[in-house]
Structure 1
Amino acid sequence: MIETPHLRLIPCDDTIFEAIKMGNNVLGRVLGANVPKRWTSYREVFTPSFHRWKTHPPLRDWWTHLVLYVPDNMLIGSCGYKGEPDAEGVVEIGYEIRPSHRERGLATEVAKGLVDHAFAHDLVRKVIAHTLAEESPSTSILKKVGFERTGDIQDPDDGLLWRWELLKQG
């Protein structure tokens, strides 16, 4: 688990993935937390994420986490890594916060928590992220955490994206 001042980033395991499939009431009981109806905008990705996680054990430290807002004991989003570090020590982060909890610095706290957790591992030399090719709250979050825009990529699904990188210091 990754803990930040206001959040707990809870790694998904078999029990949590199964609870997500069974619905918010079951997930709330498993987490011991309040689970609002629309805690994620990406519910459809959890089933393929679970299958990949099951068949690829190295992902167990580098995959999906749920974002629990401690003051309200409420599930407010998801985050994680898009796979384990590659041969060059690069890992990619992603995150989402439900609209009711945006503009409070929580997404920045999530991103920083993921970065700090990644850099605590000797294998990781660089953390990357991608955003749509426009200034947005996501680009502001990455800048606050210390990322720099390093280029553009063409994604087959999302079109032009900006690539962001943060190098491990020391």
Structure 2
Amino acid sequence: MILTSRLQLLSCTLQYFEALLQGEEVLSELLHIRIPEPWTEYPEIILVAYDKLRNDPSMLGWFFYLVIHKEDKCLIGAGGFKGRPDKDGTVEIGYEISAPYREQGYGTELTQALVRFAFSHSYVNKVVAHTEEEYNAAVKVLQKSGMHFVGEDPEQLWKWEITRDQYQWPQD
């Protein structure tokens, strides 16, 4: 689990995926949280992510997180890593915040927490992310999280990154 001032990032175990696949009300009961309709714009990813974790349980912690608003006790999105760090110590992040909770800093808070979590592991040297080729809210979130534009990749996406040397640890 990763905690921020307003969010709880709960690593999505097989049990949580199975509950989601049975119906959102099953996960809601299990975690004692509200799940708004719709909480994700990409419901098809749930089954894909479940299969991926089922085939490689060692991804737990380096994969899919449920984003829970602590005060509202509400599932407001998902985020996490696209797998364990590679041999060079690079890991990719992604996230989604549901529409009613956008433009309130939750995306930035989530992204900063993922970057901090990644760099808390000494073998992680770089965190990367991809966005569409346009200046939008996702770009602003990555910039506020210390990431820098490094170019386009073959899939016509912008690539962003932050290295361990560039990362500034929060002053607690």
Is TM (by shorter chain) over 0.5?
yes
Pair 1:165-2:161 in alignment: yes
> How far, CA to CA, are the matches of 1:14 and 1:91 in structure 2?
22
Comparing 37-46 and 123-132, the one that deviates more: 37-46
Identify the structure with the greater helix proportion. 1
TM-score by length of 2: 0.94
Aligned 8 A contact 2:150 2:159 in 1: yes
Q: Which runs of 5+ in 1 are unaligned?
A: none
Q: TM-score, normalised by structure 1?
A: 0.95
Kindly indicate whether residue 34 of structure 2 is the aligned counterpart of residue 16 of structure 1: no
Aligned-partner Cα distance in 2 for 1:51–1:24: 18
Alignment RMSD (CA, Å): 1.0
Letter in structure 2 aligned against 1:2: I
Report the residue type matching 2:51 in the other structure: H
Summarize the alignment of residues 1-170 of structure 1 with structure 2, pairs less than 5 Å apart: 1-155=1-155, 160-169=156-165
Please state how far the C-alpha of 1:46 moved relative to its aligned partner.
1.1
Write the distance in 1 (CA, Å) between the matches of 2:57 and 2:88: 20
SS of equivalent residue, structure 2 residue 21:
helix
Fraction of identical pairs, as percent = 39
- Structure 1 segments (4+ residues) deviating >2 Å: none
Q: Residue 62 of structure 2 contacts residue 82 of structure 2 at CA under 8 Å; is this kept in 1? A: yes
How far 1:58 moved relative to its partner?
2.6
Shift of 1:154: 2.1
Aligned residues: 166
Unaligned runs of 5+ in 2: 168-172
Q: Secondary structure at the match of 1:72?
A: coil
Alpha-carbon offset, residue 32 of structure 1 = 1.1
